[in-house]
Amino acid sequence: MYSVIIPSVGRINFLNDLLSSIYNQTILPKEIIILLDKNNTCREGLKLINKKDNCEIIFCSNLTTPEKRNLGVKNSKTDIILFSDDDDIWSFNKAELTLKSLKNYQVVCHEFSKFGLLKKKPRYKLGKKAKTVSILSLIHGNNIWGGGSGIAARKEILLSIPFNNDLYSEDYDWWIKVILAEIKIKYIPISLVSYRVHHNNMTSNLFNIFIYNQKIFNKIIKKSILLFFAFILGSSKSILIFLIKSLAIFCSNLLKIILKKFLKS
Protein backbone atom coordinates (compact mmCIF):
# COMPACT_ATOMS: atom_id res chain seq x y z
CA MET A 1 0.00 0.00 0.00
CA TYR A 2 1.17 3.50 -0.75
CA SER A 3 0.07 7.13 -0.66
CA VAL A 4 0.33 9.70 -3.44
CA ILE A 5 0.91 13.31 -2.40
CA ILE A 6 0.17 16.06 -4.92
CA PRO A 7 0.82 19.75 -4.17
CA SER A 8 -1.35 21.71 -6.58
CA VAL A 9 -2.01 25.31 -7.56
CA GLY A 10 -5.39 24.41 -9.06
CA ARG A 11 -4.51 23.46 -12.64
CA ILE A 12 -7.62 21.27 -12.86
CA ASN A 13 -7.17 19.99 -16.44
CA PHE A 14 -3.60 18.91 -15.74
CA LEU A 15 -4.60 17.50 -12.35
CA ASN A 16 -7.38 15.36 -13.83
CA ASP A 17 -5.00 13.94 -16.45
CA LEU A 18 -2.61 13.01 -13.64
CA LEU A 19 -5.38 11.43 -11.57
CA SER A 20 -6.50 9.36 -14.55
CA SER A 21 -2.96 8.02 -14.97
CA ILE A 22 -2.84 7.15 -11.25
CA TYR A 23 -6.24 5.39 -11.41
CA ASN A 24 -4.84 3.27 -14.28
CA GLN A 25 -1.79 2.04 -12.36
CA THR A 26 -1.16 -1.71 -12.17
CA ILE A 27 -1.03 -1.26 -8.38
CA LEU A 28 -3.49 1.30 -7.03
CA PRO A 29 -2.76 3.63 -4.09
CA LYS A 30 -4.51 3.40 -0.75
CA GLU A 31 -4.92 7.17 -0.73
CA ILE A 32 -4.30 10.26 -2.86
CA ILE A 33 -3.76 13.50 -0.97
CA ILE A 34 -4.15 16.71 -2.99
CA LEU A 35 -3.00 19.92 -1.32
CA LEU A 36 -4.71 22.93 -2.86
CA ASP A 37 -4.24 26.65 -2.26
CA LYS A 38 -7.03 28.07 -0.14
CA ASN A 39 -8.40 30.57 -2.65
CA ASN A 40 -11.59 31.08 -4.65
CA THR A 41 -10.15 29.62 -7.85
CA CYS A 42 -9.26 26.31 -6.18
CA ARG A 43 -12.52 26.18 -4.25
CA GLU A 44 -14.55 26.74 -7.42
CA GLY A 45 -12.51 24.13 -9.27
CA LEU A 46 -13.01 21.55 -6.50
CA LYS A 47 -16.22 20.18 -8.03
CA LEU A 48 -14.40 19.61 -11.35
CA ILE A 49 -11.72 17.37 -9.86
CA ASN A 50 -12.10 13.73 -10.85
CA LYS A 51 -12.05 12.43 -7.27
CA LYS A 52 -12.54 8.87 -6.12
CA ASP A 53 -13.24 7.56 -2.61
CA ASN A 54 -9.56 7.31 -1.75
CA CYS A 55 -8.89 10.92 -2.76
CA GLU A 56 -8.55 13.54 0.00
CA ILE A 57 -8.42 17.31 -0.56
CA ILE A 58 -6.56 19.54 1.91
CA PHE A 59 -6.82 23.32 1.52
CA CYS A 60 -3.67 25.20 2.53
CA SER A 61 -3.22 28.84 3.49
CA ASN A 62 0.01 30.49 2.33
CA LEU A 63 2.01 27.25 2.13
CA THR A 64 4.93 26.76 -0.24
CA THR A 65 5.32 23.57 -2.29
CA PRO A 66 7.75 21.98 0.20
CA GLU A 67 5.43 22.87 3.10
CA LYS A 68 2.53 21.23 1.24
CA ARG A 69 4.59 18.09 0.74
CA ASN A 70 5.52 17.99 4.42
CA LEU A 71 1.86 18.43 5.42
CA GLY A 72 0.85 15.65 3.06
CA VAL A 73 3.42 13.30 4.61
CA LYS A 74 2.15 14.04 8.12
CA ASN A 75 -1.44 13.31 7.04
CA SER A 76 -0.62 10.13 5.13
CA LYS A 77 -1.72 6.74 6.44
CA THR A 78 0.81 4.45 4.79
CA ASP A 79 4.53 3.85 5.16
CA ILE A 80 5.35 4.43 1.49
CA ILE A 81 4.99 7.83 -0.19
CA LEU A 82 5.07 8.65 -3.91
CA PHE A 83 5.08 12.32 -4.84
CA SER A 84 3.79 13.98 -7.97
CA ASP A 85 3.41 17.47 -9.37
CA ASP A 86 -0.04 18.30 -10.68
CA ASP A 87 1.12 18.66 -14.31
CA ASP A 88 2.54 15.13 -14.65
CA ILE A 89 1.29 11.98 -16.30
CA TRP A 90 2.44 8.64 -14.86
CA SER A 91 3.39 5.67 -16.98
CA PHE A 92 1.06 2.74 -16.23
CA ASN A 93 3.72 0.80 -14.26
CA LYS A 94 5.34 3.64 -12.29
CA ALA A 95 3.88 2.52 -8.97
CA GLU A 96 4.63 -1.16 -9.58
CA LEU A 97 8.31 -0.62 -10.44
CA THR A 98 8.76 1.88 -7.61
CA LEU A 99 7.19 -0.35 -4.95
CA LYS A 100 9.29 -3.28 -6.11
CA SER A 101 12.46 -1.25 -5.54
CA LEU A 102 11.25 0.10 -2.18
CA LYS A 103 11.14 -3.44 -0.78
CA ASN A 104 14.92 -3.27 -0.33
CA TYR A 105 15.58 0.48 -0.30
CA GLN A 106 14.29 3.51 1.58
CA VAL A 107 14.42 5.93 -1.36
CA VAL A 108 13.85 5.35 -5.07
CA CYS A 109 14.30 7.59 -8.10
CA HIS A 110 13.84 6.97 -11.78
CA GLU A 111 15.42 8.39 -14.91
CA PHE A 112 14.81 12.10 -14.75
CA SER A 113 13.74 13.22 -18.20
CA LYS A 114 12.88 16.88 -17.97
CA PHE A 115 11.75 17.04 -21.56
CA GLY A 116 8.02 17.69 -21.40
CA LEU A 117 5.64 16.09 -23.87
CA LEU A 118 7.18 17.85 -26.87
CA LYS A 119 10.77 16.71 -26.31
CA LYS A 120 11.77 13.10 -26.75
CA LYS A 121 15.37 13.05 -25.59
CA PRO A 122 16.01 13.09 -21.82
CA ARG A 123 18.50 15.64 -20.55
CA TYR A 124 19.77 13.98 -17.39
CA LYS A 125 20.06 10.42 -16.27
CA LEU A 126 22.34 8.20 -14.22
CA GLY A 127 22.81 5.57 -16.89
CA LYS A 128 21.12 2.77 -18.78
CA LYS A 129 21.31 0.21 -15.98
CA ALA A 130 19.67 0.05 -12.58
CA LYS A 131 22.08 1.01 -9.83
CA THR A 132 22.37 2.10 -6.22
CA VAL A 133 23.05 5.80 -5.78
CA SER A 134 25.22 6.96 -2.88
CA ILE A 135 27.44 9.88 -1.96
CA LEU A 136 30.11 8.45 -4.30
CA SER A 137 27.72 8.93 -7.21
CA LEU A 138 27.44 12.61 -6.31
CA ILE A 139 31.20 12.99 -6.09
CA HIS A 140 31.60 11.33 -9.51
CA GLY A 141 29.25 13.86 -11.06
CA ASN A 142 26.02 11.91 -11.48
CA ASN A 143 22.90 14.06 -11.36
CA ILE A 144 19.67 12.80 -9.80
CA TRP A 145 17.95 16.14 -9.46
CA GLY A 146 14.53 14.71 -10.12
CA GLY A 147 11.58 16.88 -9.24
CA GLY A 148 8.68 15.88 -7.04
CA SER A 149 7.62 13.19 -9.48
CA GLY A 150 10.98 11.48 -9.14
CA ILE A 151 10.76 11.13 -5.36
CA ALA A 152 9.48 7.98 -3.69
CA ALA A 153 10.46 7.16 -0.14
CA ARG A 154 9.49 5.53 3.10
CA LYS A 155 7.62 7.83 5.44
CA GLU A 156 10.26 7.62 8.18
CA ILE A 157 12.84 9.17 5.84
CA LEU A 158 10.52 12.01 4.86
CA LEU A 159 9.72 12.79 8.50
CA SER A 160 13.41 12.89 9.43
CA ILE A 161 14.42 14.82 6.28
CA PRO A 162 11.56 17.22 5.44
CA PHE A 163 11.46 19.52 2.42
CA ASN A 164 12.43 23.19 2.46
CA ASN A 165 13.64 25.96 0.14
CA ASP A 166 17.11 26.47 1.61
CA LEU A 167 18.79 25.86 -1.74
CA TYR A 168 16.15 27.48 -3.92
CA SER A 169 14.60 24.23 -5.12
CA GLU A 170 13.06 21.98 -2.47
CA ASP A 171 13.60 18.74 -4.39
CA TYR A 172 17.23 19.63 -5.15
CA ASP A 173 17.84 20.45 -1.49
CA TRP A 174 16.15 17.21 -0.40
CA TRP A 175 18.21 14.96 -2.68
CA ILE A 176 21.43 16.55 -1.42
CA LYS A 177 20.50 15.91 2.22
CA VAL A 178 19.48 12.32 1.52
CA ILE A 179 22.76 11.61 -0.27
CA LEU A 180 24.87 13.28 2.41
CA ALA A 181 23.05 11.19 5.02
CA GLU A 182 24.45 8.20 3.06
CA ILE A 183 20.97 6.79 2.46
CA LYS A 184 21.22 4.39 -0.45
CA ILE A 185 18.94 5.28 -3.35
CA LYS A 186 17.74 2.79 -5.94
CA TYR A 187 17.84 4.21 -9.45
CA ILE A 188 15.39 2.91 -12.08
CA PRO A 189 16.82 3.62 -15.57
CA ILE A 190 13.41 4.37 -17.11
CA SER A 191 11.51 7.64 -17.27
CA LEU A 192 8.22 6.86 -15.51
CA VAL A 193 6.61 10.30 -15.83
CA SER A 194 5.78 12.67 -18.69
CA TYR A 195 6.46 16.25 -17.62
CA ARG A 196 4.52 19.08 -19.21
CA VAL A 197 5.18 22.62 -18.07
CA HIS A 198 8.23 22.57 -15.84
CA HIS A 199 11.02 21.59 -18.23
CA ASN A 200 12.53 25.10 -18.00
CA ASN A 201 12.95 25.26 -14.24
CA MET A 202 16.16 25.44 -12.21
CA THR A 203 17.10 21.77 -12.46
CA SER A 204 16.84 21.79 -16.25
CA ASN A 205 19.65 24.32 -16.53
CA LEU A 206 23.21 23.00 -16.35
CA PHE A 207 24.61 26.39 -15.37
CA ASN A 208 22.17 26.69 -12.45
CA ILE A 209 23.02 23.16 -11.34
CA PHE A 210 26.73 24.08 -11.36
CA ILE A 211 26.09 27.28 -9.34
CA TYR A 212 23.97 25.52 -6.73
CA ASN A 213 26.46 22.65 -6.49
CA GLN A 214 29.08 25.27 -5.62
CA LYS A 215 26.80 26.80 -2.98
CA ILE A 216 26.11 23.39 -1.47
CA PHE A 217 29.75 22.39 -1.22
CA ASN A 218 30.71 25.81 0.13
CA LYS A 219 28.16 25.28 2.90
CA ILE A 220 29.49 21.80 3.55
CA ILE A 221 33.09 23.06 3.74
CA LYS A 222 32.16 25.93 6.08
CA LYS A 223 30.19 23.65 8.37
CA SER A 224 32.96 21.07 8.31
CA ILE A 225 35.54 23.70 9.33
CA LEU A 226 33.30 24.93 12.13
CA LEU A 227 32.70 21.37 13.32
CA PHE A 228 36.44 20.68 13.19
CA PHE A 229 37.26 23.69 15.39
CA ALA A 230 34.37 22.84 17.72
CA PHE A 231 35.78 19.33 18.00
CA ILE A 232 39.29 20.66 18.70
CA LEU A 233 37.97 23.06 21.35
CA GLY A 234 35.79 20.40 22.90
CA SER A 235 38.60 17.89 22.79
CA SER A 236 41.07 20.42 24.23
CA LYS A 237 38.76 21.05 27.17
CA SER A 238 38.33 17.31 27.72
CA ILE A 239 42.06 16.69 27.40
CA LEU A 240 42.83 19.55 29.79
CA ILE A 241 40.35 18.22 32.35
CA PHE A 242 41.84 14.73 31.94
CA LEU A 243 45.40 16.05 32.45
CA ILE A 244 44.38 18.05 35.52
CA LYS A 245 42.64 15.03 37.04
CA SER A 246 45.59 12.79 36.19
CA LEU A 247 48.01 15.31 37.68
CA ALA A 248 45.85 15.58 40.81
CA ILE A 249 45.77 11.77 41.18
CA PHE A 250 49.53 11.57 40.61
CA CYS A 251 50.22 14.29 43.16
CA SER A 252 47.87 12.62 45.64
CA ASN A 253 49.58 9.25 45.25
CA LEU A 254 53.01 10.87 45.46
CA LEU A 255 52.00 12.65 48.65
CA LYS A 256 50.77 9.38 50.15
CA ILE A 257 54.11 7.70 49.36
CA ILE A 258 56.06 10.61 50.91
CA LEU A 259 53.87 10.57 54.03
CA LYS A 260 54.29 6.79 54.43
CA LYS A 261 58.09 7.11 54.21
CA PHE A 262 58.05 10.04 56.62
CA LEU A 263 55.94 8.13 59.15
CA LYS A 264 58.19 5.06 58.93
CA SER A 265 61.24 7.17 59.57
12-47 pLDDT, tens digit each? 888 999 999 999 999 999 999 999 988 888 888 888
- Report the alpha-carbon distance of residue 16 to residue 46 in Å, rounded: 11
Average pLDDT over residues 67-87: 94
Topology of domain 3-204, CATH = Spore Coat Polysaccharide Biosynthesis Protein SpsA; Chain A (3.90.550)
> Which range (22-26, 81-85, 86-90) has the least confidence?
86-90
Residue 97: per-residue pLDDT:
94
Among 19-33, 46-60, 142-156, the range with the most confident prediction by mean pLDDT is 19-33
pLDDT over 90 percentage in the chain: 31
Strands (E), 93-241: 107-110, 131-133, 152-154, 185-188, 193-194
Instruction: Give me the phi and psi of 122, to 5 degrees please.
Output: -70, 150
Instruction: Residue 4: name the closest of 93, 92, 95, 91 by CA.
Output: 95
pLDDT bin (cut points 50, 70, 90) of residue 127 is low
Confidence of residue 156 (pLDDT cuts 50, 70, 90): very high
Whether the model clears a pTM of 0.85, i.e. scores above it, the answer is no
For the chain, give every domain's residue range.
3-204, 220-265
